[in-house]
Amino acid sequence: MAPSFDHLPDPEDEDYDEDEELDFSDLRERFEVQLEQGLDAFVVIDGLPSVTEETKPKLIKFLKRKLDPVGRVKEDSIFMPLGPDGTSEKFAFVEFSSAAEALAACKQLDMVPLDKRHTLRVNKLTDIERFGREGRIDENYTPPTIPPFEEKEHLRSWLADPSGRGRDQFVMYKDDRVQIFWNNEKDAPEPIVDRQHWTETFVQWSPQGTYLTSMHAQGVQLWGGPSWTRQKRFAHPFVNLVDFSPGEKYLTTWSHRPIVIPEEGHPMLSVDDDGKNYVIWDIETGKPLRSFANLDLPSNTTDEAGQPVKRKIVWPAFKWSADDKYVARLTQGASISVYELPRMGLLDKTSIKIEGVMDFDWAPAVPHREGVKTYEQLFCYWTPEIGSNPAKVGLMSIPSKEVVRTLNLFSVTDAKLHWQSNADYLCVKVDRHSKSKKSLATSLEIFRVREKGVPVEVVDAIKETVINFAWEPKGDRFVIITTAEVVAPTAVPPKTSVSFYCPEKVKGAGVGNFKHIRTYDKKNSNAIYWSPKGRFVIVATVHSQQSFDMEFFDLDFEGEKPESDKDLTANLQLMNTADHYGVTDIDWDPTGRFVATSASIWKHAMENGYHLYDFKGEQLREEPVEKFKQWLWRPRPPTLLTKEEQKQIRKNLREYSKVFDQEDADRGASADLAVVEHRRRLLDEWLAWRAQIEEEVKQEREARGLPLDPIEDLIKRDDDEEDQVIEEIVEEIVEETEEIIG
């Protein structure tokens, strides 16, 4: 016991001992055991074969070879105790020269197979002390309790709209509230759920609408089911972005901050994930599959101060094949790494080396190439001109890694890859410079993936620069926006032109050459939004300060077709134009019936809110929303109906329409009735209150002996003097004529 003030020895006391005053600190310093420090460099290796005194040196030598890459180990620092029967206890203690080496050994050598029957288990001695100390481990085996089966909520229940009208849901994020509604067309949307602080930065639907994703500093959470309970969570600290695989099987999360695994560990991630930025998760199990660090590429551009310009993050960095089987990442200029799911191992254990590769993209659907029967996924990529080699666009088949088509191109400044949603076509938008490198022109190289040999068609060189391109979903028509010159962002954006293209009619099956339909000049438009079902398209001006116009086009107009278009597979018609001040986002509902346009506070603070249009461009609703941030329609999974069934429905559409029209009319009538009823009630209440209060006031006045009208009396007093009548006579000469008589 340390001497406290109460027990200080008194020199007057009899048993006072002078020795107690001796200073031992020098000795203590020398001999005190430095517990933690010393043992940090030790590891324990389990899983060794049993050896005898004679074979021991051989095993130690063998072990040393295994250990050497991690840290230099002297032969005498491997200690293998022998049991009473002269054979080893199948484990060894190893001393490294530093704690860091010991830690590295645990990381790298644990679970390394020694031979077929033996696998090394490497642990720090201090860990064994800490976790394996007596009493820490229960001697008796207790089987883990398996929680009873609990039925999960139906994650697709929303597809059966309780009102039986097949309405769509959408999520609205405003201020700090996240709200989910049923779309009610003209009427106020019907709220489903409304939660404050549901997310910290934004919300996102999974690609088939099953989950709503919320973002938090601690990670990502998925919500769903009829009661909007938490389905999954993925604890990626400080996550910034999230991306789903198309089939909702996997999830990629990314944070600009490398993951730091704290001393005490992390509930989901392991030490291996330390320093990584990307994590790929299995959604079903909620477990991480693999993590990756950011690829820090030396950037070849520098800013004015000579500092390398920070490359913008490319998102998604990990691109998914259409069937969730592969995920790939580009190492710009060098290679594409394709990983196989669910093992997350590199395909054939190597990255695909493609010199100079700039960009790649998976086919968004399983491709159907003529004459190819085996399973394949395709991706396309392009490489710029390197030395005297031309620029190239290639199509690669996975898993065979066979390049099925390449196209050589010259004078390329940039290329953009646009897949059509069925993977039937691939359009490569090539920006070319002239020899002097002064002017730019764009050409569209269209790969017909379905046809034998993947022929490439070039759409006649466009003089201007194409700033936007969009395929019709599931169709074969496209829209481009061009501008005469691309200049640095200025206050007044350059005028643009919008052009429509479609294949021409051919006899028999097959698709004809792509032909220009029409061009609309002198526009400000910069964005193209196709209906998810095709046919209708909105060309709009977004993120602009001056113009906010939206034009709704129909490519299969049922009216008269101009003579000039008779060979084309489209009849283009401008249906409607609309104007939404400050529009920043345009979103089609998944059925292509409605369009929501919104002005988000993320971009500007003016007139935040949304408009709702039908596909024809008729405005249905308009609602200003304070601090409006986001509007997202809930996506729908692909239909379960077969082609025949869909055809049948289309054939009988008239019958269905009749029923629906009747339902709509009935609902409208009953809604009107409800409104009238409500108004009548309000009016009755009001009149009753007025009658009551008038009576009360009257009584009170009488009780006080005051006249019923307080002012009449006053005025009478004033008007004692006679009224003064002021007469004003106004003479007006209407006409004056002078006649000379005589």
Site of interaction with other proteins (CB under 8 A): 581, 606-607, 624, 676, 679-680, 682-684, 686-687, 689, 693-694, 697, 700-701, 704, 706, 710-711, 714-715, 718
User: In whole angstroms, how close is the CB of 729 to other proteins at the nearest point?
Assistant: 19
User: In whole angstroms, how close is the CB of 698 to other proteins at the nearest point?
Assistant: 10
Residue with tokens 């991706």: 379
528-553 burial code (b ≥16 CB/10 A, e <16):
bbbbbbbbbbbbbbbebeeebbbbbb
- Alpha-carbon distance 53 to 80, whole Å? 10
Q: Which is nearer to other proteins, 28 or 704 (CB)?
A: 704
- Alpha-carbon distance 174 to 221, whole Å? 19
What kind and span of H or E run contains 553?
strand 549-554
Closest CA to 429 of 481, 398, 466, 388: 466
Q: Which is nearer to other proteins, 76 or 626 (CB)?
A: 626
Q: Which is nearer to other proteins, 510 or 624 (CB)?
A: 624
Q: Which is nearer to other proteins, 16 or 686 (CB)?
A: 686
- Alpha-carbon distance 706 to 83, whole Å? 116
User: In whole angstroms, how close is the CB of 682 to other proteins at the nearest point?
Assistant: 5
User: In whole angstroms, how close is the CB of 431 to other proteins at the nearest point?
Assistant: 36
Q: Which is nearer to other proteins, 719 or 739 (CB)?
A: 719
Q: Which is nearer to other proteins, 1 or 730 (CB)?
A: 730
Residue 251's beta-bridge partner residues?
Answer: 244, 281
User: In whole angstroms, how close is the CB of 701 to other proteins at the nearest point?
Assistant: 7
User: In whole angstroms, how close is the CB of 469 to other proteins at the nearest point?
Assistant: 33
Give the list of residues 6+ apart from residue 535 with CB closer than 8 angstroms, or none: 472, 475, 554, 555, 556, 592
Q: Which is nearer to other proteins, 665 or 675 (CB)?
A: 675
**Residue 314 and residue 331 in contact, taking contact as beta carbons nearer than 8 Å:** no
Side-chain-facing half-sphere of 527: CA atoms under 13 Å? 16
User: In whole angstroms, how close is the CB of 581 to other proteins at the nearest point?
Assistant: 7
Q: Which is nearer to other proteins, 660 or 686 (CB)?
A: 686
Side-chain-facing half-sphere of 199: CA atoms under 13 Å? 27
Closest CA to 517 of 551, 480, 482, 552: 480
Count the neighbouring beta carbons within 10 Å of the beta carbon of residue 55.
Answer: 13
- Alpha-carbon distance 435 to 680, whole Å? 78
Q: Which is nearer to other proteins, 8 or 703 (CB)?
A: 703
If you compute the radius of gyration of the chain from its CA atoms, what whole number of angstroms results?
Answer: 39
User: In whole angstroms, how close is the CB of 430 to other proteins at the nearest point?
Assistant: 41
Q: Which is nearer to other proteins, 275 or 624 (CB)?
A: 624
Q: Which is nearer to other proteins, 82 or 697 (CB)?
A: 697
User: In whole angstroms, how close is the CB of 606 to other proteins at the nearest point?
Assistant: 6
Q: Which is nearer to other proteins, 270 or 670 (CB)?
A: 670
Q: Which is nearer to other proteins, 496 or 600 (CB)?
A: 600
State which amino acid sits at residue 349.
K
User: In whole angstroms, how close is the CB of 143 to other proteins at the nearest point?
Assistant: 58
User: In whole angstroms, how close is the CB of 693 to other proteins at the nearest point?
Assistant: 5
Counting beta carbons within 10 angstroms of the beta carbon of residue 266, is it exposed (0 to 12), middle (13 to 18) or buried (19 or more)?
A: middle
Residue 594's beta-bridge partner residues?
Answer: 614
- Alpha-carbon distance 500 to 476, whole Å? 11
DSSP label at residue 523: E
User: In whole angstroms, how close is the CB of 203 to other proteins at the nearest point?
Assistant: 25
Closest CA to 626 of 179, 187, 198, 191: 179
User: In whole angstroms, how close is the CB of 583 to other proteins at the nearest point?
Assistant: 14
Q: Which is nearer to other proteins, 486 or 606 (CB)?
A: 606
User: In whole angstroms, how close is the CB of 173 to other proteins at the nearest point?
Assistant: 20
User: In whole angstroms, how close is the CB of 668 to other proteins at the nearest point?
Assistant: 16
What angle in degrees, to the nearest 10, is found between the helix axes of 643-651 and 653-704? Answer: 70
- Please write down the HEC assignment for all residues of 266-328: CCCCCHHHCCCCEEEEECCCCEEEEEECCCCCCCCCECCCCCECCCCCCCCCEEECCCCCEEE
Residue 624's beta-bridge partner residues?
Answer: 609
Counting beta carbons within 10 angstroms of the beta carbon of residue 340, is it exposed (0 to 12), middle (13 to 18) or buried (19 or more)?
A: middle
> Tokens for 703?
């009780």
DSSP letters for 358-425: -EEEE-SS----TT--S--EEEEEEE--BTTBPEEEEEEEETTTEEEEEEEESSEEEEEEEE-TTSSE
Q: Which is nearer to other proteins, 111 or 708 (CB)?
A: 708
